[in-house]
Chains A and B, each alone.
Chain A
Amino acid sequence: MPILSCENLTKQYGAVTALDGVNLNIEPGRIVGLLGPNGSGKTTLIKIANGLLTPTSGRILINGMEPGVETKKLVSFLPERTYLANWMSVKQLLNYFQDFYEDFDRERAATMLAHLNIPETQRIRQMSKGTREKVQLILVMSRRARLYLLDEPIGGVDPAARDYILNTIIGNYDPQAAVVISTHLIADVEPLLDEVVFIQNGHILRHTPVDQIREEMGKSVDALFREEFRCL
């Protein structure tokens, strides 16, 4: 059974169609790049999967269920913006996640925080934007979830931390779990990806294994993306 399945998924914001009849299946054990230019519908798709937006028509299923309390136990979501309360310390956030998510692995979080030199006593308001994003990503990746939905996970962090984060995503590989990464930094994430989904104007243009792009087309995902989404 696919861990994420979209059937004719459509989302409209007034007159603007963000997603237009999207059909997509993502299987467990895959790391999928959700790639497309700005305003293509990537974030909308991820938000619908998390139940933060409701589709105009069609449906989305997580492990065969519509978004709700049960699917939220399975999905670990990293939004593009910081959602952490400024006054909280890292330790308080760890307690918060441990309280609500049964699959939260506190030891894993503590190890990652130590590797990135982030003290548990530090408060969010004392951190730079990049450090906040790192903390948020650590919290999200420390869950033993079935589906990770990462919206721009490395956009705001320095290249050194970027490598650590990408290694963490690979290091946490679980054959039962799928990871969907939406990003513009294709060259950075390319080595991780099993599949790519190209999306534009709310339509899925391509859903292809990365190996196929390399072997049959003789191109990197980055090169193919630049070719298909070239601005004239």
Chain B
Amino acid sequence: MFMKLVKHELHELLRVLLPIFGGLLLFAGVTRGLIWLMQQNDNPILSVTGGMFIGLFFMSCVACVILTAVLLLVRFAKSVHGDEGYLTHTLPVGVHSILCSRLLVSVLFLAAAMGTAIGSVLISTWRLEELSEISEGIGLLFESAGLKSGFWWTILASVFVQTVTTVLMVFAAISIGHSFNRGKVGFSILFYFALNTTASMISTILSLLLMNTTLFDEAAELSTVTSSSMALSIGMNLVFCGVYYFIAWIMTRKRLNLA
């Protein structure tokens, strides 16, 4: 049943997001062509319009990620706590399956949106040889900081956990907000900021406390400080993930309000 939920969610969102991702990649191709044209011709009008076009392209890359995030949260609110919830919650599936399927699909699409945006920038501006230079540059940077090449995996894990945490925080806020009889959207936004502020305060306090330990003292090497910071960040986010998931689950299971 879980995979069926995932399949239907993917289908629903692909229908909307695939044209957006495809459009951005196409835009990147056009931008690359325009950049080449600008390099070949010394025309001031072409330079001005080209510059504006490139600016628009970079804004589109950011907009693609933001739009995806907005569509995902609207989809969650509509299908779990809105009118479509009448169908979702009468399916013979548990709340865990519903939440986990939405989480998996949201993380996948956010990763796809970020990948498409980064890929579009690369398509539009860089050449392959420049890519290898960038890769080498980052390798050198890691080396000078005393970090191993495997540190890439720590960064990826951190980004992944951070994405899951953010998605679950939004789910929790929407689930609390929609338990009210009126002003569901307003309360959802309010609780998002409340959860976000609380998490920031806890993170800051914990970080300040840990700063006094030997891991972060002046004698510690840069690599130790970086690795410890990353591990601390991942650990805290995992705890927040658990808390947000529990909130979303309990609100959907015990306080569902499709009134």
Contact = CB atoms under 8 A, between A and B. Distances in A.
B127 interface: no
B12 A85 contact: yes
Contacts of B1: 100
Contacts of A83: 83-87
Query: Taking each of B8, B85, B89, B90, which has the highest tally of chain A beta carbons within 10 Å of its own beta carbon?
Result: B90
B83 A82 contact: yes
Given A85-B12, A99-B8, A69 B258 contact: no
B90 A75 contact: yes
A54 B256 contact: yes
Contacts of A73: 92
A72 B12 CA distance: 23
Nearest to A83: B86
Interface in B9-23: 12, 15
Contacts of B181: 13-14
A69 B86 contact: no
B148 interface: no
B3 to A, nearest CB: 10
A101 B4 CA distance: 11
B209 interface: no
A53 B258 contact: yes
A47 B256 CA distance: 11
Interface string A130-141: 000000000000
Interface in B82-124: 83-87, 89-94
A172 B89 CA distance: 25
A77 interface: yes
Interface residues of A, number: 26
Interface residues of B, number: 23
Given A69-B93, A101-B92, A96 B8 contact: yes
Contacts of A75: 90
A52 B91 contact: no
B81 to A, nearest CB: 11
A192 interface: no
Given A96-B8, A99-B8, A53 B259 contact: yes
A50 interface: yes
A16 to B, nearest CB: 10
Contact of B258 (A13, A47, A87, A99): A47
Nearest to B253: A54
Contacts of B8: 96, 99
B180 to A, nearest CB: 10
Interface in A91-134: 96, 99-101
A53 B257 contact: yes
Contacts of A53: 256-259
Contact of A79 (B4, B15, B86, B257): B86
A81 interface: yes
Contacts of B15: 87
B91 A13 contact: no
A213 interface: no
B90 A54 contact: no
A93 B255 CA distance: 28
Contacts of A61: none
Contact of B86 (A14, A52, A72, A96): A52
Given A82-B83, A96-B8, A99-B8, A72 B91 contact: yes
A85 B89 contact: no
A54 B83 contact: no
Interface in B245-259: 254-259
A69 B94 CA distance: 6
A157 interface: no
Interface string B22-62: 00000000000000000000000000000000000000000
Contacts of A79: 86
Given A77-B86, A81-B86, A82-B83, 8 more contacts: A13-B259, A52-B86, A68-B94, A72-B93, A77-B90, A83-B83, A85-B12, A100-B1
13 contacts: A47-B258, A52-B89, A69-B93, A70-B92, A72-B90, A72-B93, A75-B90, A77-B86, A79-B86, A82-B83, A83-B85, A87-B12, A100-B92
Interface of B: 1, 4, 8, 12, 15, 83-87, 89-94, 181, 254-259
Nearest first, the 5 A-B pairs at minimum CB distance are: A83-B86, A72-B92, A73-B92, A83-B87, A79-B86
